[in-house]
Amino acid sequence: MFISILTPSYNRVHTLKKLYDSLENQSNKGFEWIIVDDGSTDDTRSYIMEVINKASFTVRYIYINNGGKHSAINEGVKVIGNALTFIVDSDDYLTRDAVDVIFKIWQEYKSNSSIASFWFLQSDPNGNLVGEKFPIDNSISTYTDIMINSGIKGDKKSVYVTEVRKKFPFPIFLEEKFIGESTVHKRIGDKYNSVFVNKVIYISEYLSDGLTSAGTNMRIKNPLGGMTNSKEFLSNNVIFKIRIKKLILFIMYGFFAKKDYKKIILNSGSPILAIICTPVSYLLFKKWGKLK
């Protein structure tokens, strides 16, 4: 095995079956599947026990008390011993050649210690590309330059060097159960390069009850995570218009977190600009507050 496929799951037994089928159909079986059950109350445990007994690959099951996707990922990454870590959501699945594609790219770049992740394309179940292709296929660059500053549209999927991923766990805030995954992507991307590959390996199904659809309501209920995520993108390697957007969100989340306004401004790193952005942040705070 060279890669661990890590799936955080909460009450998703009805979608895990499609993901399992896609793993059974992989042309390269050099992987293990780790399911971190984030306190599910459905039949996830019994289903995975069945899978363990019949799967043609190694399956590991971890149960934790409900703490959110980011918490489940932290727990899963801790136990991974393979070279690569691939986080696959419980309501999505893989193309038949996904593991083999990753293996070949890994063989090409594994001796390059400056590379921490490999980014691939994803499509919907009908084969339509989600967003846009990368500007240059099989290119080496940084997460910030390609995924943030280039303006490329659409979700992409990352595969991480496990040794690096272990060094960058998600921050945990008591009573909060969500933080944007880009928090960790940005932190790793500031220290390592990535390889960007124009190959679809991941099929996304955006469910009406999934995290993606929860959107605004999920974020305002987890304001400390929102502040942390936003602040990651206030650095000088991020283009100005993105920094402004994130600064507005940083201040707004501070309001939801009931932080002292002066401390919000000082912690922004750009006090004068933060003061200028405050009216927009306050209007957004009032608008989003109606959704709570």
Q: How many domains does the chain have?
A: 2
pLDDT at 114: 98
Buried b (16+ CB within 10 A) or exposed e, 68-88: bbbbbbbbbbeebebebbbbb
pLDDT value for 213: 42
Q: Indicate the residue among 161, 184, 207 that finishes a domain.
A: 207
The answer on pLDDT for 192 being more than 60 is yes
- Does 214 fall in a domain? no
Q: Within this chain, do residues 177 and 235 fall inside the same structural domain, yes or no?
A: no
Residue 39 lies in a domain: yes
Q: Give exposure, 177-214, as e/b (b: 16+ Cβ within 10 Å).
A: bbbbbbbbbbbbbeebbbbbbbbbbbbbeebeebbeee
CA separation, residue 271 to residues 238, 239, 274, 286 (Å): 18, 18, 5, 22
Q: Tell me what pLDDT residue 245 has.
A: 98
Q: Are residues 109 and 27 in the same domain?
A: yes
Q: Supply the pTM of this predicted model.
A: 0.94
Average pLDDT over residues 146-157: 96
**Residues 163, 54 share a domain:** yes
Q: Is the domain of 97 the same as that of 167? A: yes
Q: Is residue 212 part of a domain?
A: no
Same domain, residue pair 91 and 227: no
Band the pLDDT of 292: cuts 50, 70, 90: low
Judge if 274 and 143 occupy the same domain: no
CB 243 within 8 A of CB 237: no
- What tens digit of pLDDT does each residue of 84-109 get? 999 999 999 999 999 999 999 999 99
**Is 51 in contact with 59 (CB distance < 8 Å)?**
yes
140 shares a domain with 10: yes
Segment 249-291, tens digit of pLDDT: 999 999 999 999 999 999 999 999 999 999 999 999 999 998 7
Q: Which of 207, 230, 250 is the last residue of a domain?
A: 207
Q: Is pLDDT at 215 greater than 80 in this prediction?
A: no
Confidence bin at 59 (pLDDT 50/70/90): very high
153 and 24 share one domain? yes
Identify the domain containing residue 95 by its residue range.
3-207
